[in-house]
Amino acid sequence: MIILQLFKSIGAQKFKYPSQAVFTLDHDVQNKSEKNLAKYSSIERLANLHNVDFYPAGRGIGHQILIEEGYAFPYTLTVASDSHSNMYGGIGCLGTPIVRTDAAAIWATGKTWWQIPPVVKVELKGKLPDGVTGKDVIISLCGMFNKDEVLNCAIEFAGEGIRGLSLSERLAIANMTTEWGALAGVFPVDETTIMWLRNRVEKLELTRFENKNLKPISAGQPFKHPRINNERIDKIEKNPLRASSNAYYCKYLSLDLSTLSPCVSGPNSVKVSTPLVELEKQDIKIQKAYLVSCVNSRAEDLHSAAQVIKGKKIADGVEFYVAAASSEVQKDAEANGDWKVLIDAGAKILPAGCGPCIGLGVGLLKDGEVGISATNRNFKGRMGSPNALAYLASPAVVAASAVAGRIVSPAFLSTSSYTFPAHQTPIITCDINQSEQPIETSSIIEPTIPGFPGTIKGELIFCDADNLNTDGIYPGKYTYVDDLTLEQMAKVVMENYDPKFANIVSKGDILVGGFNFGCGSSREQAATAIKASGIALVIAGSFSETFKRNSINNALLCLEAPDLVRLLKNKYGSKELTTRTKLNTEVKIAEGKIVVKGLNEPKTVFKVGILGRSVQELWVANGLENWVKQSM
């Protein structure tokens, strides 16, 4: 709805390329209020007016629909205003997130900008042991390579281990490259990909009458899906894309899949992964279990959970929530009996769409509760109370835990057919390419354009937190309250990180965060809420590239100063969540340096990167929305 408002506010009268856009209603689908239904109706009317493909609430999660309907197709670029757009990489499509303002600009102009990131090659070797899944692969990668090895990079997956991964597993791995910190995670197109596409051609032939976006055909006319058809599949099969022999990668990572065992992520962090056998010993009781979201609620996932849970009942005191990734997935699960198995066991069924995973609807974690989920994100407060604990695991482990009432493997259930390998230390490698050095940008002076400040002054406000995610900055419960004013947004900024923040910060302050600032969800309000609180500039050791993009688009300036952050950590770390440092600072934009006054340290001047002309232009225009309006 916000994108629709942005589209109208920039003065756009029509879509530049209607076939380029797809509308899927997948957030807040449990909300049947008159206000929310009116919002959905407005979006549908806009789609009909401009001849844009539209999928109503209940059809499923947008990412799954884009895979099922071929909008995300091998060897193409697909963007979406959600951080898990990386998922499209599982089918060999370059998927990457944009933000709401970007989306409105694309509708109006047909164009967007994307800075090509460094590329990391991740080689998957060996074969997964029985009972170990793609979810275990990505949980392990996030936990073992947890020092920002892939932050703001694109990942190219390679290696013979890929052959043993189903397409659903590849989608799950690509999906959570977002949590790993990457901007994209792309798998090669191989026999598995081609076979899946061929099968989809047959499936779409049978279900074509259910899709109102497809043009009707005359009697006797053969059906040809506009995106997934044998002609397109033949083309990619005959003309495969391969990396150049001299392709440059900034890093090389490898993982031997045969050395993996089931892993669990958390609590409340994807950067902490623990072998399941170790957690079983801790007797961790749970109150809620979730088999929902775009990462792990496809037919293959529902089937693995049903295998574990068949003939059993959910433990007393445990609520087990299930939602299919799409209505098509649910129909398939109903047809093969898996859906009935889950219901008979006591699962609570939710509509296909985004719910507890993003803190919306029923079934959220309450104070003191522990949950285990097959979702992709377990940040503090993400799925409910900030005082709850959330773990991530594969669908089979989630199902087994729901039955046992504590975190266990399916093997714990005596009648389960699952066999799990003994835990062993995974074999990994990490090599940094030293053949090219990054350009030293701090020595370059960038002239400032008229209207852009050469120097920004303010007191440093320090938040000592690495990986401060957008849920911490702007809680999910406010994300779809579209009528919040900027003043109201300023009052809740950082609420999940530090409830006192809004009362500490003053207009003109310079906020300093830790490393990987703004990771997690791509929600644009994280940037706009910080700006609304009066913050003049954000400095961090490093940023999530998506957060930085949001900030640039909304005229909030961001600079990386890792040395300054380390110094402040040593001086103020662990004292308070938010500290007024009383350090008055000058940020000299054109010279690329920060001068800290009142700092009793040998070093008081810190180099930073320059802010180029495009960033300055967006700031002067007060954001991308106004810039597009002025350019039309």
Mean of per-residue pLDDT scores for the chain = 92
| Bridge pairing between strands 251-256 and 263-265 | unpaired
Between CA 262 and CA 139 the distance in angstroms is 9
Helix (H, G, I), strand (E, B) or coil at 417: coil
Q: 57-71 burial, b for 16+ CB within 10 Å, e for fewer? A: bebbbbbbbbbbbbb
Domains contained in the chain, CATH given: 1-86+95-114 (3.30.499.10), 116-189+241-261+423-438 (3.40.1060.10), 264-412 (3.30.499.10), 455-631 (3.20.19.10)
Q: Kindly report, residue by residue over 45-75, the tens digit of the pLDDT.
A: 999 999 999 999 999 999 999 999 999 999 9
Torsion angles phi and psi, residue 457, rounded to 5: -115, 145
Q: Kindly report, residue by residue over 160-196, the tens digit of the pLDDT.
A: 999 999 999 999 999 999 999 999 999 999 999 999 9
C-alpha distances in angstroms, 31 versus 236, 290, 294, 330, 348?
41, 19, 19, 20, 17
DSSP state of 118: P
Between CA 309 and CA 5 the distance in angstroms is 45
CB 456 within 8 A of CB 536: yes
Between CA 484 and CA 230 the distance in angstroms is 48
Q: Kindly report, residue by residue over 495-535, the tens digit of the pLDDT.
A: 999 999 999 999 999 999 999 999 988 889 999 999 999 99
CB 497 within 8 A of CB 511: no
Please report, to the nearest 10 degrees, the dihedral formed by the alpha carbons of residues 400, 403, 408, 412 taken in order: -80
Q: Kindly report, residue by residue over 318-344, the tens digit of the pLDDT.
A: 999 999 999 999 999 999 999 999 999
Q: Kindly report, residue by residue over 417-471, the tens digit of the pLDDT.
A: 555 565 667 888 888 887 654 444 445 567 889 999 999 999 999 999 999 999 9
Between CA 135 and CA 376 the distance in angstroms is 9
CB 174 within 8 A of CB 89: yes
**Shortest CA distance to 62 belongs to which of 529, 526, 522, 552?**
522
Torsion angles phi and psi, residue 259, rounded to 5: -95, 5
Between CA 60 and CA 333 the distance in angstroms is 14
Work out the angle between the directed axes of helices 525-532 and 545-553 (0-180°, nearest 10). Answer: 60
Helix (H, G, I), strand (E, B) or coil at 57: coil
Between CA 29 and CA 481 the distance in angstroms is 14
Per-residue pLDDT at 600 exceeds 90:
no
Place of tokens 């802010």: 611
Per-residue pLDDT, 421: 61
Give me the mean pLDDT over the 376-384 stretch.
91
Between CA 58 and CA 271 the distance in angstroms is 32
Per-residue pLDDT, 440: 46
Asked which of 268-282, 550-564, 599-613 is least confident by mean pLDDT, the reply is 599-613
Q: Write out the two tokens for 321.
A: 């929530």
DSSP state of 170: H
Between CA 91 and CA 192 the distance in angstroms is 9
Per-residue pLDDT, 441: 44
At 3, the pLDDT band (50, 70, 90 cuts) reads confident
C-alpha distances in angstroms, 493 versus 396, 443, 475, 480, 535?
37, 35, 8, 15, 11
Q: What DSSP letter does each residue of 290-352 carry, written as one string?
A: EE-SSSS-SHHHHHHHHHHHTT--PPTT-EEEE--SBHHHHHHHHHTTHHHHHHHHTPEE--S
Residues paired with residue 584 on neighbouring β-strands, in sequence order: 459
pTM, rounded to two decimals? 0.85
CB 23 within 8 A of CB 42: no
CB 401 within 8 A of CB 393: yes
Question: How many CB atoms within 10 Å of residue 433?
Answer: 13
Question: How many CB atoms within 10 Å of residue 441?
Answer: 13
Give me the mean pLDDT over the 213-231 stretch.
90
Strand intervals (E) in 513-616: 537-540, 558-560, 578-588, 593-596, 605-607
CB 549 within 8 A of CB 623: no
